[in-house]
Structure 1
Amino acid sequence: MTAAWTSPDRAAALPAAVALPLLACGAVLLLRHRPIAREAASVAVGLALTGVVLALWPVADDGLRFELWTWLPGLSLEFALEPLGLLFASVAAVLWPVTTVYAAGYLRAAREPALDRFFAFFALAIASAMWIALSANLVTLFIGYELMTLATWPLVAHHGDKQARRGARTYVVMLLVTSIGLLLPAIIWTWVLAGTTDFRLGGILAGQAGSGVLTLLFALYLFGIGKAALMPVHRWLPAAMVAPAPVSALLHAVAVVKAGVFTVLKVAVYVFGLDTLRESGATEPMKWVASFTLIAAAIVAIRSDNLKRRLAYSTVSQLAYIVLAATLAHEVAAAGGALHMVTHAVGKITLFLCAGAIAVTAGKTRVSELDGLGRTMPWTFAAFLTATVSIIGLPPTGGTWSKWLMLLGTAEADQVVPLAVLLVGSLLAVAYLMPIAVRAFLRPPADLPAHGEAPLVMTGPLTLTALGCVALFFGADAVLEPLAGTLELP
């Protein structure tokens, strides 16, 4: 069916991918007094979005573009299709309906208020993810980036208590300050140097500035992309853990942090160009920042007893893998970073869905309280163990290949210290994740549980995403193949 599309039909699918979540938002508000219909509409539109996005893969290299508005030469609002952006769009589109089904069960079990507001802003967050993924230039991407911050802010503050308001304030202030104070000046500077903000394979800054300027500009981008959670601009992420578990899943897997690392990869490949970064040495300072973040966040995770806090710092550490891969300016490492964007998304959403199921079913939120729970919640903890293995990077899960490619790219680039950092980071991941499953399955329970497994509406989605971790082990080539031309893989 895709092959029969005309070129205008295909290009129209780009704004349609942004419009569908907006349609879901409108449906949620219209059906706010009919909960089942409201959630069914969200899932149905989510499945439709998944179909639209996946149908674009056969034409990912056709150069489809859809212009919204041009007001100055080199400055326009425009969507464009390319494999890296479509990969991020696919992650968000596929995980949205799964998370929506889980959220419906979780929010009812937790007796959360204002579900219509929740699902409306959830849909707006997905719309902004589609906008970012399909942006044809930095200006368009920046607008989507800011919209995502504003759309997810009410979700972080969902509980409405003092702690939630404080966490949401930290969240929105840090993300807006970094983006407006650092990312926006970097975009303006890029326009002054290159005369355009369009994304182009090979970059737009080659020959436009010296090594010192490129180094400073690259640092502005990486710190300005606060959603990538590099230290010290990472504190918004643990602060946002006051939100309900489905929001944490959205932040860590479906949209927010993936928008951050996607933007880092996009800037490295399409704004600077890997050759320019490598030849100029512009990535050297940020390579050390990413390495420090990877190790330091992992150590904080090990020391954290609160389960969601541990998972939050795990995310900070795992995102640093992708940023470090980008700073290596090596094609194989960048491919590993792109694949890790996918494998981490599926693994981390599983971990947060499990954490939410544990909290509402067993009332446990601390790692030290999980002894023996695997005996009464076997499906939940089996999924948790599967995702743990993927995050660590062991077979038979998708994380094996993303970690391997990053290690291989680091070795081929003769980067000894980053290679050691990646290896130590994986060992630390064993230390902060594996004891959770060990406690749940092998230790005797501290007390006699009065509960069983989480409801099917919660265990179903988390089991599905856990199976996705395994499926990515066997299907990694299908993810990497469309990126071969973009990253000039051998």
Structure 2
Amino acid sequence: MLSLTPEQLMLAALVIPYIAAVLIPLCWRVPNIREGVTLVAAVALATVVWNLYPHVIDGARPEIVGFSVAPGLDFAFKVEPLGLLFGLVASTLWVVNSVYSIGYMRGNNEPRQTQFYVCFAVALGATIALAFSKNLFTLFIFYELLTLSTYPLVTHKATPDAFKAGRVYLFMLVGTSMVLLLPAIIATWVFAGTLDFTPGGIFADKVSPVLMGGLLVLFIFGIGKAALMPGHFWLPAAMVAPTPVSALLHAVAVVKAGVFTVLKVIVFIFGIETLAEAGTGAWLLWAASFTVLTASIIALRQDNLKKRLAYSTVSQLSYIVLAAAILTPISVIGAAMHIAGHAVAKITLFFAAGSIYTAAHKTEISELNGIGWKMPWTMTAFAVGSLAMIGLPPTAGFFGKWFMLSAASTTQDWLVIAVIVLSTVLNACYFLPIIIRAFFREPEKVVAGHAVGAQYAGHNDDHGEAPWPIVVALTVTASMTVLLFFFPSVPFNLAQLMVAG
């Protein structure tokens, strides 16, 4: 363990990504050094954040207060269990994503690679700062920085489609945060006198149930990164970005920042007991259920692999919102467990999609007949990630659904049970055919260098696996997806501490 105080560890975690963002462009002429800086920074960040874990488990809650804007409005950071869980997910997966990015960006001769790594570092810095924010004021600053730093990543290809997707991305995320989230934060400060994340919430006896319900609506739909319908359009549109960016959006930073913020607001601003007593959150169960099922049905209809994965993410994120909306300690534990389980599984799936594109230049599911025999590592990893999305053991996706079902059966929320069961069937319907197609169908016959069928023309059918950094990265994340099933103690311990206050 590093011989630093918890406060020093937290400060190091907050600054390491920004140091990397400064050093990376200085090395732009030497790609090996540039990417070495990225890897060293990622490993250093993960090491520092993991060293915070024993302190937090032992009861430490390190805190740094920067400056005060007004009474009850501080720019400050504090490490608590849920924030540390998110920080561990983000920092650990940055290491793997950095290895993957090297293989992907070089393998596809992507332009502007220095800009890519700089924006990635800034985005991770914003994510860690958001995770460790002590209050809504600090969180909002880095929530917006995360949006702005990922915009150049979404538009990385600089094509008309990329810029169109970027406009949707900014419009939806900045629009919802400025029109809905910011007014909700201001109203919270006015009525509660503080924005600090507090166990049990800050609204008890301070606002009426009607006002509390109105604020909840503003918060939930103002947190556009959670992609609750109808505010989900930015997410499928952003699939035009390179695959490492898609992995960042879906697994490491952006969408996880959304559901993390939803969970923080429900647990530490409203308080699950206060919301349950007020009875103003029942609509959220219906909104999340609608998103879970509708996004799953849309995913079924997608032939483009990344778009199917995108709609899967929209659905899976709403599991977390659904679990939080049950408003019991065990359901909130399930939501926190699903943040970790979904992260490692979904990043595996996107890594596999990028591996297929890099090696075979194929993007459509209908093109994947027999590809599992040419890319066994990639498609085995994809199979593991798919089983996790369905929620089957022995994968990390099992625990989140198990806790959600346990909570719903205890509270007799039959709607939630029905939604989880039906959506699990839908998950199987849009993931298992991909695995069957890859391993149990004959490859397309090649005639004069082209596969039979015009839609396959121009694809590389004489290929193997993608470059080794890509294969190593997806193998690691697939292994993590299984290991989290057998060794779930880290996210489970932190989730328990979160509900214990």
Deviation string for 1:84-122 (max 9, x for gaps)?
Answer: 000000000000011011111111111110100000000
Deviation string for 1:20-59 (max 9, x for gaps)?
Answer: 0011111211101110111011011100000100000112
1:172 aligns with 2:170: yes
Select the residue among 27, 42, 45 that pairs with 2:41.
45
Deviation string for 1:169-192 (max 9, x for gaps)?
Answer: 100111000001100011111111
Asked whether the 8 Å contact 2:9–2:51 carries over to 1, the reply is: no
Aligned to 2:273: 275
Structure 1 residue 433 displacement after superposition: 1.1
Identity, in percent, stands at 47
Structure 1 residue 486 displacement after superposition: 2.0
Q: Counterpart of 2:298 in structure 1: which amino acid?
A: V
5 Å-filtered alignment, 1:231-310, equals 231-310=229-308
Aligned to 1:466: 478
Structure 2: gaps spanning 5 or more residues: 447-460
Q: Counterpart of 2:14 in structure 1: which amino acid?
A: V
Aligned to 1:356: 354
1:89 aligns with 2:87: yes
Q: Secondary structure at the match of 2:29?
A: coil
Structure 1 residue 219 displacement after superposition: 1.1
1:29 aligns with 2:29: no
Deviation string for 1:231-286 (max 9, x for gaps)?
Answer: 00000000100000000000000100000000011001100111011111121112
Distance in 1 separating the partners of 2:19 and 2:434: 40
Deviation string for 1:392-412 (max 9, x for gaps)?
Answer: 110111111111011111111
5 Å-filtered alignment, 1:116-135, equals 116-135=114-133
User: What TM-score, normalized to structure 2?
Assistant: 0.95
Q: Counterpart of 1:206 in structure 2: which amino acid?
A: A
Asked whether the 8 Å contact 1:12–1:66 carries over to 2, the reply is: no
Q: Secondary structure at the match of 1:71?
A: strand
Aligned to 2:425: 427
Q: Counterpart of 1:461 in structure 2: which amino acid?
A: A
1:19 aligns with 2:12: no
Distance in 1 separating the partners of 2:328 and 2:6: 32
5 Å-filtered alignment, 1:124-273, equals 124-273=122-271
User: What TM-score, normalized to structure 1?
Assistant: 0.98
Asked whether the 8 Å contact 1:137–1:199 carries over to 2, the reply is: yes
Aligned to 1:337: 335
- Alignment RMSD, CA only? 1.1
Distance in 2 separating the partners of 1:399 and 1:107: 29
Aligned to 1:381: 379
| Stretch deviating more after TM superposition (140-149 or 284-293) | 284-293
| Stretch deviating more after TM superposition (443-452 or 125-134) | 443-452
1:486 aligns with 2:493: no
Q: Counterpart of 2:41 in structure 1: which amino acid?
A: V
1:10 aligns with 2:6: yes
Q: Secondary structure at the match of 1:11?
A: helix
Distance in 2 separating the partners of 1:190 and 1:117: 38
Asked whether the 8 Å contact 1:350–1:387 carries over to 2, the reply is: yes
| Stretch deviating more after TM superposition (76-85 or 279-288) | 279-288
1:456 aligns with 2:468: yes
Q: Secondary structure at the match of 1:70?
A: strand
1:55 aligns with 2:51: yes
Q: Secondary structure at the match of 2:393?
A: coil
Structure 1 residue 434 displacement after superposition: 1.2
Distance in 1 separating the partners of 2:11 and 2:158: 34
Q: Counterpart of 1:208 in structure 2: which amino acid?
A: K
Moved beyond 6 Å, runs of 4+: none
Question: What number of residue pairs does the alignment pair up?
Answer: 485
Q: Counterpart of 1:464 in structure 2: which amino acid?
A: V
| Stretch deviating more after TM superposition (67-76 or 136-145) | 67-76
Q: Counterpart of 1:135 in structure 2: which amino acid?
A: S
Structure 1 residue 13 displacement after superposition: 2.2
Structure 1 residue 358 displacement after superposition: 0.3
Asked whether the 8 Å contact 1:396–1:473 carries over to 2, the reply is: yes
Distance in 1 separating the partners of 2:415 and 2:52: 39
